[in-house]
Amino acid sequence: MEFIKGGVCAAKGFSAAGAHCGVKSKNPDKKDVALIVSEKECSAAAVYTKNIVKAAPLLITKEHLSDGKARALIANSGIANACAPNGEKHAETMCAAAAKALGIEAKDVVVASTGVIGQELNIAAITENIDAVAALLSADEKGSDAAASAIMTTDTVKKEFAAEAIVGGKTVRLGGIAKGSGMIHPNMGTMLCFLTTDCAISPEMIKKALLETVKVSFNRISVDGDTSTNDMCVLLANGLAGNEEIGCEGADYDAFLAALKELCITIARAMASDGEGASHLITCQVKGAKTEESAETLSKAVISSTLTKAAIFGADANWGRVLCAMGYSGEEFDPDGVDIKFVSKAGEIEVCKKGRGLAFDEALAKKILTEHDITIDITMSEGDEKCTAWGCDITYEYVKINGDYRT
């Protein structure tokens, strides 16, 4: 697989746009409505938040995807349309407005929102401007870039990636845009992510591929422990690459799945790195666990630990917080079989051996932990399985951002 430019427009037959409609912000430079559309019907699948409280757009999208098909997507930022007056009505109106502007049926449109919970959506801002947004649709990187900007809230950088791989003897392209900076925690990785591909794949197999991919990417990141009401990851596949449709497991499915996983892991890492107020990307690698599930639980516990996050923020090699997080994860293991190292491009330092602290160079440890990308490398003595999860540090800025998010 090779990474390329183009985002969601890298795949054949997709165009995108983003524009300011005034959903919440009056700043004309803040794009807040995005469109993505395929020139032909797509196999489609989505994965949603596990939060019991679900935003109206998720309920409507789930209904529209009941046949495994879709053609377009509309999303807004600023207002989440969750726990809000007229929520489902407004979500349906968004689909109908997009469908009319694109000349398709409303049931073929999926819808997403992100922003403040509880406030009624400014639906007029969308319906009155949707034609102008549709007029901006572009099949090149410009369209994807505008759509990626339109779904951002507290994000400081756009999450926009694309890749290509050989599937069934044909070059298949995949692209994705995402937003996610706060309210990020494993359970579908609190976020919006929109994925496109020109691979020919059945609705049943695209659903299977998305579920397998989410498990090892978006469900292995955490910023702050909060799982949102609006989590959604949508994958659209229009088949224009010309490969024989993937209808069952096999070499073609494996090739597509490998590319999708690599793309989504890259997006997931970008979300963790851009956590609200974050100054470090934390990677936790657990090796030598008895099962992959055990390794996943342990690595998630470490990257979700507030005390570990604080220690990394302070460049403090406080490995005891790592072992402590492992201990309350719910997994059974022998603490006396755990080794811990801190690693970055500045070097590596072993701080714990067989569950006991080692004498180490504090100055070197601080130098290592001052780098942006930090790896917590954990080796256990339970078995041969492993897992990697991603998170970020917690900083003063995180509290500032969320202290007045609504106002």
Active site residues: 190
Give the residue ranges of DSSP H helices in 251-361: 251-273, 292-304, 306-313, 320-327
Contact (Cβ atoms closer than 8 angstroms) between residue 184 and residue 226: yes
Token couple for 328:
């309350």
DSSP state of 190: S
Q: Give the residue carrying structure tokens 């659903």.
A: 207
CA distance 7 to 5: 6
For 290, residues 6+ apart whose C-beta sits below 8 A from its C-beta are 333, 382, 383, 385
Positive or negative, the CA dihedral 96, 98, 101, 105 is negative
Token couple for 322:
């790592």
Rg of the Cα atoms in the chain? 22
The secondary structure of 353-404 as a DSSP string is ETTEE----HHHHHHHHTSSEEEEEEE-SS-SEEEEEEEE---HHHHHHHHT
Give the residue ranges of DSSP H helices in 123-164: 123-127, 130-135, 141-150
Amino acid identity for residue 293 in this structure: E
Say if residue 403 is exposed, middle or buried (CB neighbours under 10 Å; 0-12, 13-18, 19+).
exposed
Cβ–Cβ contacts within 10 Å for residue 398, how many? 22
3-state class (DSSP) for residue 217: coil
Backbone φ and ψ for 392, nearest 5 degrees, come out as -150, 170
Positive or negative, the CA dihedral 362, 365, 369, 371 is positive
- Return the axis-axis angle of helices 292-304 and 306-313, rounded to nearest 10°: 60
